[in-house]
Chain A
């Protein structure tokens, strides 16, 4: 996308408006206003993406490497079985935690629209994890879930175990329950916020109508409420999933070690003493972007198709 294309006015629009000199000035003014945001995003974001793709294809003259276009780095990466294990782990953590956070978040949003004592308190409470960094969540996971942690102590208190080693290992395994717990803890509020906002917007009239027509609670949720909150659900889960795929700190600290998730793999390549491995790291980075892109576009396309079937556009 170039900087000039969005500023071209609609011909029909232009015909409606006044003389062409004024029109041209307005168009320039419009471009001037859009220029800073375009500059930042195109240069930084677009530049970074283009550079990453170029490098992963063997373009790194500053290392004395320039074999562009060279698909060998992708070949080497995709040819190794550990890459696919890493990819599987990355997607597994991202999907499971997004799904759990979605269920928790929707349930919480549905409860929050009700009237109950302490509602103000809850409206503060549920946003707390949203306000603090992931690293805090990781610290809490270490404190609660490690073998010497609080849950292990509670289990000992209840007489279930008498040695820390007997506590089931939650952190640093490839099941990733520690990672998932942190993501869920941090993202349930995000999804709740998105869904709650939509619920406030739509009001309760449609649900009341359905109830009067004799629908039960289940039917009301799946046939009336869910289709209406779907835009909030889709946009918030998109963001959470993309974040989880690219997250580094939780898998780095709480993950099971080799094979790591893809962002950690890329980071290790990048910090390797052998700096030519950085190109391998770039191929990993581009792979993360590709996989996330394909999944998210598929998700969005499925959602759009559903919307069309529902008669919305």
Chain B
């Protein structure tokens, strides 16, 4: 018994865990290897494990790898989709911040009747199926003339992003306490000065984390963009959807998949510095 409990306490990996970590790495990263190969293949017939003809052998026909030549050309609409995705993400993030900052302040500091019901209402968008919201919103937006417009998509993206943003900002405000603001007030600072010189600088790390997460959620949204964009506005997820909707993946689709993955990798590297795992300790839902 004693030796058993020793192993259970050890801060090292058990053999099973070591094996499991390798399996998980293969599960997560493995599929990207054939994806990369596919994007440089010229001909890749079953059952070859590697392409029968690489682009390199056919470079007389094309200077660029064929798939990448298409992906980087205007015909693929990749550039347009990237610009759309980033622009929509940025605007959504800014609006979401503006809406959630004051609300988070009240939620973190004030007590009022119905507060827990209100908090539950704020997290409802996370647990109401997206298809239900998307189709109902589309009906509404068609009536309002917002379907297929940037405004409609940006407004719709607020729904799934607000719950995360308000949660992360409330946690930041709770950590901040109100002593510093009160001291500044006592020393004669105006409300605006307090906001600019005390509150915002202290909030900044949390605000950056919330903004990054909101941007991430917005850039990953498929369903709302697809339903409400009416095919007129392409973002990276909807562009890729239209490429693979037939259930096959050719070399150019592989290239586009890699391009769609790229912003996520960049965000991952940036956000690892700002978003600490501990921030999620309180959970999302209840």
What is the chain A residue whose CB lies nearest that of B45?
A148
Contact in complex: B103, A34 (CB < 8 Å): yes
**A226 contacts the other chain (CB 8 A):** no
Contact in complex: B127, A126 (CB < 8 Å): no
Partner of B102, one of A33, A172, A196: A33
Contact in complex: A36, B103 (CB < 8 Å): yes
What number of residue pairs across chains A and B have CB atoms under 8 A from each other?
Answer: 348
Partner of A36, one of B98, B155, B245: B98
Contact in complex: B283, A143 (CB < 8 Å): no
Q: Which residues from 133 to 177 on chain B have a C-beta closer than 8 Å to any C-beta of chain A?
A: 133-140, 143, 155-156, 158-159, 162, 166
Contact in complex: B284, A37 (CB < 8 Å): no
The smallest C-beta distance from B272 to any residue of chain A, in angstroms, reads 6
Stretch with Cβ within 8 A of A (4 or more), from B53-61, B63-71, B273-281? B273-281
Tell me the complex Cα distance, A33–B128, Å. Answer: 25
Partner of B103, one of A37, A152, A201: A37
Residues of B within 8 A of A134 (CB): 220, 222, 237
Residues of A within 8 A of B226 (CB): 248-249
Tell me the complex Cα distance, A232–B2, Å. Answer: 31
Contact in complex: A197, B277 (CB < 8 Å): yes
Contact in complex: B114, A8 (CB < 8 Å): yes
Interface majority SS (helix, strand, loop, mixed), chain B: helix
Tell me the complex Cα distance, A40–B130, Å. Answer: 17
- A153-B48, A236-B285 are contacts. A51–B112 as well, Cβ < 8 Å? no
Contact in complex: A41, B162 (CB < 8 Å): yes
Contact in complex: A239, B113 (CB < 8 Å): no
- A36-B102, A40-B99 are contacts. A150–B117 as well, Cβ < 8 Å? no
Q: Give 18 A-B pairs besides A111-B21, A124-B269 with Cβ atoms closer than 8 angstroms.
A: A9-B112, A30-B106, A45-B128, A45-B159, A49-B136, A124-B268, A125-B28, A135-B240, A142-B244, A152-B46, A200-B281, A211-B8, A217-B5, A232-B283, A234-B283, A238-B126, A263-B131, A285-B132
Q: List 28 A-B contacts (CB under 8 A).
A: A30-B106, A33-B105, A37-B99, A37-B100, A40-B162, A44-B159, A45-B133, A48-B139, A52-B139, A108-B20, A111-B13, A116-B21, A128-B28, A128-B268, A135-B240, A139-B257, A143-B38, A146-B248, A189-B28, A200-B278, A211-B6, A234-B285, A247-B129, A247-B223, A263-B131, A266-B135, A285-B132, A292-B129
A residues bordering B, Cβ < 8 Å?
1, 5-10, 13, 30, 32-34, 36-37, 40-41, 44-45, 47-49, 51-52, 55, 62, 104, 107-108, 110-111, 114-116, 122-129, 131-136, 138-144, 146, 148, 150, 152-154, 156-157, 162, 164, 171-172, 185, 188-189, 193-194, 196-198, 200-201, 204, 207-208, 211-212, 214-217, 220, 231-232, 234-236, 238-239, 242-243, 245-249, 252-254, 262-263, 266-267, 270, 278, 281-282, 285-286, 288-289, 292-293, 296, 300, 303
